[in-house]
Structures are given as C-alpha cells and as structure tokens.
Chains A and B, each alone.
Chain A
Amino acid sequence: MATTVRHALPASLSMFAFTVAGLAGLPLAFVAYMALTAGTPVWSRLWQTRIPELLLNTGALALSVSAGTLLLGVSLAWLVVRYDFPARRFWEWTLVLPLAMPTYVLAYVYTYLLGIGGPIEQIWQTWAGPDARIFPPHSLSGATLVMTLDTFPFVYLLSRTALMNFNVSFEEVAQACGASRLRTWFCVTLPLMRPAIVAGLSLVVLYVVSDFGAVSLLRFQTFTYAVYQQVSGRYDHAAAAALSLLLVLLALLFLVAERWFRQRSRFYQTTGRYRAPARKALPPLGAWLATTYAAAVFAASFGVPAWLLAKWSLAALAEGALDARFLGFITNSLLLSGSAATLAIAIGTPLAYVATRRPSTLHVLCSQAVYAGYVLPGPVGALALLVLISHVAPFWYGTILVLIAAYVLHFLPTGLQAMEPALQQVTPNLEEAARSLGYGPAGTLRSVTLPLVRGGFIAAWVLMFLQCMKELPATLLLRPVGYDTLAVRIWLEASEEYYQLAAPSALLIVAVTIPAILLLVSKDWRAA
C-alpha cells in the first residue's frame, strides 16, 4: 500500500506540472505564432532599425544594474548581519522598504530630481558654477540609478537570509587552519552565499528586462520599451510579438545558465542546528560611516521619494483628490494581489517540488516554460491572454479571474525563484527519514518539508504580492469595467499629467504594502 502511494504522488505531481506549464505556455505560444507569421519585411525592418541597439541597451542595463545591486545588496547585508552599530535594527528593516516603491514612481521622482533645473542640478550648480550639468535621467546612467535603487533589496534580502542561516563553524574552521580573514571571506563565506546571491541577481535581471514602467518614463530604449512603443504607438502587433519573442528567448538562455550555475553550487543544510555568527561592535568612526552609508542608500531609494510623494499628496488633498472611492481602490488592489499571490503559491509548490527533487529534463523544461511568463512583456502578454480568454473561455471574460490569471502567469516565476532555493536547502535525507518512519508523502510534506521551507514560501508570497500591487500593463488592459486599482489610478492621473493627483495613490500603494514587506524581515524565518 505504502509503495503505491509513494509512486502515485510523483506521477500526479508531474501531471500537474505538465498541465500548469502547458497553460502557462499558451500566451507565449500565441505570441510566438504572431511573431513567426509576421513575415520577413517586419523582421528585416526590426533587424535593421532596432534590434542591435535594443540588444546593446538591454544588456548594458542588466549588467550595470546587476553590478550596482550586487555592491549595495551584499555590502549592506554583511553590515547589518555581522556588525553592530547604532540603530542597526532600524536600518535592517528600512532597507527593504524600496520594494514598496513602484519603479515608475521612482523613475518619475528621479526625472524631477535630476531633470533640467531640478533640485539636484541646482545644488550641483551652486558648487560647480551655473553652467554645470549633471547626467540626464533619460540615459543609461539614469535608468541604472533608478533600477538599482529599486531592486537592490532583492539581493540584500536573500544575502541577509543566507548570512543569518550561515553556520559560522565553517569560517572558524578556515581561520583555525590559518586562513586570513580576507581569504576566509573569498574562499568560504562568498561561495556559501553564492546560491542566494545568484538567486537575488537573477531576480534583479528578470525584473530589469521585464519592467516597462521605468524605461518608458526614462525613454531608455530596451526591449520592453520598444515593445510598448510598437503596441501603443503603431498598433503593430506583429513587430511587438517579434521583439517579445526575442526577449523571451534571451531570458530563457539566461535562466538556463543561471540554473546550471546554481546546480553546481548546491549546499544542503544537514542538521536543524547551527551556530549564529556573533555580531562585532563597530568603533565610533566605523559606526558613523556605517550609519551614513545605510542612511544615504535609504534616503535615495525610499526616504526622499516618499517625502516628495507626501508633499505632493498634501497639495492634492487640498484639491479634494482623496474621496470615498479610494477605499474601493485599496480593497481592489489588496484583494487582487492577495488572491493572485495565494493561488500562485498553491500552484507553485508542486512545480517547485518537482523541479528541485526530480530535476529530469522534462520537469526542468516545465518550470522554464513557466518562467517565460515573467519576461513576456506585460502589454503583449496581457493582449495575448485577452484574445485567448475571449475566444476560449468567454464566460470568464470581464471578471477579475482573468486578471488574477494574468498576475499568476506573470509573477509565479518570482515566487518560484524564492521557493526553489528553500526546497533545495532541505536535504532529501530528512524527507526519506520521515517516509521510512511511516509518514505518507502528504504527511512528510506537511510535517517535515513545509515547516522547513516556511520562510522561503512566505518570502515568495510577499514578493508576488508586492509585484501584483504595482502591476500596470495587464491591469490596464484586463480589468473589468468599474474595477480600478491603485496602480491604475496612478497611471490615469499621470497620463494626463495631473501628477499631484497621482501622488496619493502612489503613497497609498507604498503604505499598504509596507506591512507585507515588514513580514519579510520581522521574524527569523530560519528553519526551526
């Protein structure tokens, strides 16, 4: 009896994984179909006029943002986990807050701050003379700055968790054997943190290549921006599909490389016990430097933008912008994002389990197919879903179920990115032990695996929830009549350039997502 159960579960799990991957692949297949039937004139026009530039820009942006987030994320995580300085707990929490700031809002704030005649240029000119210019926000530097400030918490969070779960005995052994501190760092600490850093960076890269809010505001010509231009400026769906397909292929290549890299550096947590590293108190100068560093990063990524939003919101409130309808917008946003994130966890668990425990080619392919949903540019993915649903399941059309499906398709990969490493860290031995002691597969999952991966799963839920709250292109296209969300409100006001009126919605998104973010850092989500 036990054996049949043991074999039945993986089979049903596989079936489930295939089904999900198949469904998730439908919009992509539709886009691929549109792209491949586009005909040579479209492709050759794109190749001659756009593709080389887009490749270069997208690659450059992904690289520079990766470098920036790596530097900020790892150094800050190291600082708050290993050292003690005044208000350390405060900085440890607040450095995650930029995740609440939608990229397009941050981009807008920086076009204001860095723009011609903006505050930063004025300050700079009092120093460097009246004709001095700073770099314009509409450039690679500007886009890098905004994206780095918005996404470094991904790397910070994952590095921090890795450092906290880190068994300090490894370092002690290295030092006892005579390795210098630098050598220990590079030969022991860094390699052990590598899976977390790689996972964080790949979140960053996927975010950068799929985001369209910031690049469209900063007019930086990446693939997503070009796709957006084709869809919105030209009604040229074939060209948009072609560019999307190319982007998806590139991203899949990247993901395969990343998976290979992660496979090679696999570390299991072999016991439930470990020793937490001791914190070193910093000397006064060091403490001052650390505080300044953390404060500067926080101010640039969250403090100043939030303060500006609050200032603009006050002006909007004076105009009577905030009314009872906002309660509805908040509820809509929370309900949509909450249900989408929950559903994604439910769907993602078997997928992640299958991909980490039985990484056969087929299973890995399944999860790769799901990943494609993340990089399929929002405007095109949503359009494909709209066409599919209105033909295949018209009774669904016009309900929020379509929107939830779009969110799950788009953001499930973010969740998987956090769920898979969590599952990977649990050694299969523990599960096998539970099975040999008479637990069924479901029982093992519930009493051994899930408690151990709880932290990673909660992180996955929060990450997906946050991104759903900020999602724009799909919401704009698929929302039912009379069902506005906060993100849509920002867009509606900003599109006709009533920026003050957009500020309250932006501030509300930030405010209602902060509790979810604090959930990420509030507890030690370490394995019990």
Chain B
Amino acid sequence: MKSRPSPRHDRPCLQPGLRRPLVLLSLCLSLVLGGFPGLVREGAAADKLIVYSGRAEKLIKPVLDAFQAKTGVQVELLSSGTTELVNRLQAEGGRTPADVLITNDAGSLERARELGLLQPLHLKEIDQAIAPSFRAADGSWIGLSGRFWTLVYNTNLVKPGEVQSVLDLAEPRWKGKIAIPNAGSEYLQAGVSVIKVAQGDERTRKFLLGLKSNAGTFVYGKSSQIVDALAKGEVALGLVNHYYLYRYLADHPGAPIAIHMLDQQDNGMGAIMNVAGAGVVKHSRHPDSAKRLMEFLVSRDGQKLFADLNKEYPLHPDVPADPALPKRETIRTAAVPLARLAELREPAMAMIEQAGLR
C-alpha cells in the first residue's frame, strides 16, 4: 500500500516541493500498515483478563493492581461510560474480548443481564459475603459497595433535622435554596425511581414540580459543583451521592457542610441506596480467572479496598466502612429491590421530563 510507482515520464516534472509531502504520505501509510501495537488485537490472543469498567479508573485500578499482585493474573482495564460499555458488549456478542463488567449502578448491571450479556455465578464465597438483596436473582451480577443519594447541607444556613424526608425538599420554604442535579443525572433517575415505588406516582409528581420550582436556576451538571455551591453558601441544601461530601472535605478541611440521611423517621421510606457492582461476561474466554477476580472483590481485603477508595460502604457485613462515614447499622434503606432499578428507569425519566426538569 505504498505510493504507487509513478510512470517514467513523470519523474522529471515532480517538483521538489511536492516530493516531500509524497514521501511523508507514504511514510505515514507504511507506518500505519507496518504493524504497530494497536494493529495487533490485544486480549483476544494474549492471556490477559480484560475488565470493562464504568467505574472511574482512579477508583478501580488500585483494586485490580492488588488482585494482580496477589494472584499473578494479568489484568487489562478498559474504562469508559457504562452505557458505552453495555452497548459495546451487545454489539460484540460472542466475539467480545471482555471477561468482567464493573459499573457504578445496579440498574445498568441488571440491564446487561436482561440483554443476556452476563453469566450466572454461584460461588460459596459470594453467597457468604454479599446479602441476596444486593445480588441479581440468578447470580448474574453482585453488588460490591453501597452509595447513598442523600442530603448535604450548609451548616451555617440549615439546622440539623430541619429536613426529615426527601419529600420535604419540595416545600415552598426552600424556594431558591436547593441545588439539584440535571435531568440527565443517573443518580436523580435512580432516586426518582425509588421515590416512585415507595410513594406512588401522584406524590412523586408533586415532589418533582416542587423541587423544580425550589431549585430554579440551581440545576447543576456535576455533583462536585453542587457541593462547592453548598460550601460557599450559595445554596443551603443539595442532593448528591454521599461520597462527594467527603471528597470535597478532603480538599477543603473545615468547610461548613454536613450530611444528613433522609427518611429515617418511623414509617419513613428509608434512604435511597444504589450499589456499584460487577458481573462475569457471558462469552468470557477466561472464566476461571474472572471467577478469581470476583472472589477477590468480595473478600475482606478486596471489599475494604474497593469501598474505601471512594468512601463507599462495603457490602460484606464483616468489613467496617471508613470511620468518617455515618455508621451503616444506623441507616435504614428504602425497600426497593436494586434489580428493579433497570425497569423503573424509563418511567422515572418520563416523569422527570414531564415535570419540566432539564
């Protein structure tokens, strides 16, 4: 595929200025076709365990490194958006190089299971470590760490206990004082899904309309922006995943912000929780290594490392969470099965859009 040999009579008229680009062009082409790393399909041939991860590289790579150091199994990581990875797995089908899928959201794992992309796994270690409510019914995926979608407030502007339920946030007295994520946020979608099941459509609709009017222009694309606005006192209340508070406090010690677990009152619906989790890909070429990784992830060491990197709650009952977090035993969780988050997503999104949240 190098540049075609030119006819004899053309040589003399090839201008010096033109010769260089042509040489460059053929150089580039031969470089491309001459076989550099990306041309060799990695993973398929190499005996490496390939992990598709929708969880940030910073939060998962140390865990995989620890696994590699402990077992000697080589791991290759492909980080991407969770949806991109599920789409990719679906398109790749039986030819996928992937062995394990890790995501930050039970809904996407359940979606992958529905699409037939994962294989059921029944291991004694998993059954002992992770409660059935944090696993797929057929064992296709398991939860690894818990995260709460909850209230963070500015301690100068709000007294603890002023807000009890997430539904209180729709009251008119919070007008112009609350920051919320935009309609595209998967946290908001999962949160509304839970509220919808626990409280019914009518109350959810009223809640969303009140929330929209209270938030006004304080609609953010990123949770870190919400926490930042809270710390600066621009807003009094905000809805985010709990670990964003600790991430902000690590950089800004002493910032006037605190966390409050919602809906803990008697007969309350309980806090809204989601899990990060993992599943073995159906067409994995290294099922044994994949199982070893899953075993490691539910082991005490693996659980501690996986959860602490992002200040989440380990799901293994014997592994303590980071001491900075509210004690898990004190938190009551909303009784909506995680596996239902997938089917609830579409109606929740429709409600969010109908309420006019953007």
Instruction: State the A residues within 8 Å of B (CB).
Output: 49, 111, 115-117, 136, 138, 217, 219, 221, 229, 231-235, 332, 335-336, 338-339, 342-343, 345-346, 383, 386-387, 390, 394, 397-401, 403-404, 439-440, 442-443, 446-447, 450-451, 454, 458, 476-477, 479-483, 492-493, 495-499, 501, 528
Contact = CB atoms under 8 A, between A and B. Distances in A.
Interface stretch (B38-46, B267-275, B277-285): B38-46
B234 A387 contact: no
Contacts of B88: 386, 477
B68 interface: no
Contacts of A335: 31-32, 36, 38
Interface of A is mostly: helix
Given A116-B217, A116-B218, A345-B25, A49 B353 contact: yes
16 contacts: A136-B217, A233-B189, A335-B31, A335-B36, A342-B29, A386-B91, A398-B42, A451-B15, A454-B17, A476-B84, A481-B76, A481-B78, A483-B37, A483-B42, A492-B57, A499-B224
Interface stretch (B4-12, B120-128, B290-298, B299-307): B4-12
B14 A446 contact: yes
Nearest to A445: B10
B18 A233 contact: no
Contact of B13 (A332, A446, A480): A446
Contact of A400 (B38, B80, B225): B38
Contacts of A447: 10, 13-15
Contacts of B101: none
Contact of A342 (B13, B25, B182): B25
A480 B223 contact: no
A221 B32 CA distance: 39
Given A399-B38, A443-B13, A232 B25 contact: no
A400 B39 CA distance: 6
A523 to B, nearest CB: 10
B92 interface: yes
B87 A477 contact: yes
Contacts of B92: 386, 390, 397
A513 to B, nearest CB: 17
Nearest to A484: B79
A235 B217 contact: no
B18 A446 contact: yes
B21 interface: yes
A116 B217 CA distance: 9
Contacts of B41: 397-399, 480
Contacts of B81: 232, 476, 495
A22 B356 CA distance: 42
A234 B225 contact: no
A447 B9 CA distance: 11
Contacts of B18: 446, 450-451, 454
Interface string B86-129: 11100111010100000000000001000000000000000000
What is the interface residue range for chain B against chain A? 35 or more
Contacts of B160: none
Contacts of B111: 235
Contacts of B21: 454, 458
Nearest to A328: B37
Given A117-B234, A398-B43, A492-B79, A390 B36 contact: no
Contact of A404 (B6, B32, B50): B32
B32 A339 contact: yes
Contacts of A397: 41, 92, 95
Interface string B43-71: 11000001000001111000000000000
Contacts of B358: 219, 221
Given A217-B221, A229-B184, A496-B59, A482 B78 contact: yes
Contact of B87 (A115, A229, A383): A383
B281 to A, nearest CB: 13
B141 to A, nearest CB: 16
Contacts of A400: 38-39
A473 B76 CA distance: 21
Given A231-B83, A492-B56, A451 B76 contact: no
B349 interface: yes
B78 to A, nearest CB: 5
Given A443-B10, A447-B14, A496-B59, 6 more contacts: A233-B349, A439-B13, A446-B13, A447-B10, A482-B77, A501-B58
Contacts of A398: 41-44, 95, 97
Nearest to A499: B224
Nearest to A45: B350
A227 B87 CA distance: 15
A493 B36 CA distance: 27
B25 A446 contact: no
Nearest to B244: A497
